[in-house]
Amino acid sequence: MFQKGLKGVVAVQTSISSVDGDKGELRYRGKLVDEVIKGKSFEETAHFLWHGKSRDSVELEEWKASFLKFRKVPEHIVEIAKLLPKEASIMDGLRTLISAYSSQAFSRIPSEQQALSLVSVFPVLTALLYRLQQGLPIIEPRDDLNHTANYLWMLRGTEPTVAQIEALETYLKLSMEHGMNASTFAARVTVSTESDMVSALTSAIGTMKGPLHGGAPSGVINLLEEIQSPERIELVIKNKLDRGEKIMGFGHRVYRTEDPRSILLRNACLALEGEDAWLDLAVSAEQEIIRLLNERKPGRALYTNVEFYAAAIMRSIDMPPALFTPTFSVARIVGWTAHVLEQQRDNVIFRPQSEYIGN
């Protein structure tokens, strides 16, 4: 039976995550995502997504130390980065640099060590490409900073605030995995041919680059910048509704109720109330926009999606738009590698049929 875009077709059985759009639930390894990430770091959440269990305190420290070990970028990768044209996008650069990791250590059989090394170095590569693109000196990673804090440090060379680290880390943990999305499927298709981890991630990055998948939440940032202050929310939104414009950051193609990731990002913003004006503005704007939408479109439930608060977080940490999709990928590479490892353990090559409709 032909189904355009394979919509609704089940091609994979997985124990990594599940998305229930009707209930508004996202689960990692069978557990609600809010239970998984609560009180956990990026590194701990990644471990749970790969293994479905937590480590004891001693093992956990060893695990975090292993993240530090792989932050060093090989010299040949740095030289390739320097040769890339400055007008190339960061996603183009990441696709090139990850593909250049092919070596004896990244042989045909994917392994957890390969996954760990590429997840660890991915934000380092992102920061390296960004600094080179901007004509700025390269900043070395710091062993005293965790995965998220080190990423912010390498991008800017200034000490990130606690509020910035907590907000971004919440976003990263919630973006690690989201079912059989296009980039995850691309990674699994590639490794199903018995190709290697590097090739699978190169496929995933190329897929994430597409605006229909990894598109940046710039529309929401434009909305918040137009609003500027809580006093202007009603005026700006009413004007947009009068002109028939779409309010960016509301509605989702999968969730029929509130996006669970949006709820958790909102809670993170509420917990940081008073710490950052942009996060405070986002919370106020959401409440007022929903009220106005309910007035104009009664009976049509519209909720914020993950992009709304992701945009607020990106704006609060002064993340330039060129880094939105790469930062999304800093998180999603954890899910990609989890799926590559799962596919490899019980592999069958993907080989769907096509229906000829020519003359």
pLDDT attached to residue 132 = 97
pLDDT attached to residue 102 = 80
pLDDT at 253 over 70: no
Structure confidence at residue 5 as a pLDDT band (50, 70, 90): confident
pLDDT at 91 over 80: yes
**Long-range contact list for 49-57, CB < 8 A, 24+ apart?**
49/16, 49/17, 49/176, 49/177, 49/334, 49/335, 49/338, 50/112, 50/115, 50/334, 50/337, 50/338, 50/341, 52/15
Q: Could you give the 3-state DSSP secondary structure of residue 217?
A: coil
pLDDT attached to residue 309 = 86
Based on the residue annotation, tell me whether 252 is a catalytic residue of this protein.
yes
Question: Can you name the residues that pair with 18 across neighbouring β-strands?
Answer: 27
CATH H superfamily, domain 218-316: Cytochrome P450-Terp, domain 2 (1.10.230.10)
Residue of 147, 307, 339, 342 marked active site: 307
Residue of 252, 286, 339, 342 marked active site: 252
pLDDT digits (tens, 9 = 90+) for 150-201: 999 999 999 999 888 998 999 999 999 999 999 999 999 999 999 999 999 9
Higher pLDDT, 149 or 302: 149
Higher pLDDT, 202 or 24: 202
Domain segments of the chain as ranges:
17-211+324-345, 218-316
Kindly list the distances between the CA atom of residue 87 and the CA atoms of 14, 129, 133, 215, 323, in Å, as whole numbers in the listed order: 39, 11, 8, 18, 14
Structure confidence at residue 252 as a pLDDT band (50, 70, 90): low
Question: For the residues 311-321, what does the mean pLDDT come to?
Answer: 85
Higher pLDDT, 304 or 74: 74
Supply the pTM of this predicted model. 0.91
Mean pLDDT of the chain: 90
Cα 36–chain centre separation? 17
Candidate CATH numbers 3.40.190.80, 1.10.3720.10, 1.10.580.10, 3.40.640.10; the one for domain 17-211+324-345 = 1.10.580.10
* For helices 112-133 and 147-156, angle between their N-to-C axes, nearest 10 degrees: 20
Question: For the residues 266-282, what does the mean pLDDT come to?
Answer: 85
Structure confidence at residue 216 as a pLDDT band (50, 70, 90): low
* The two domains 17-211+324-345 and 218-316 share their CATH topology (first three levels equal): no
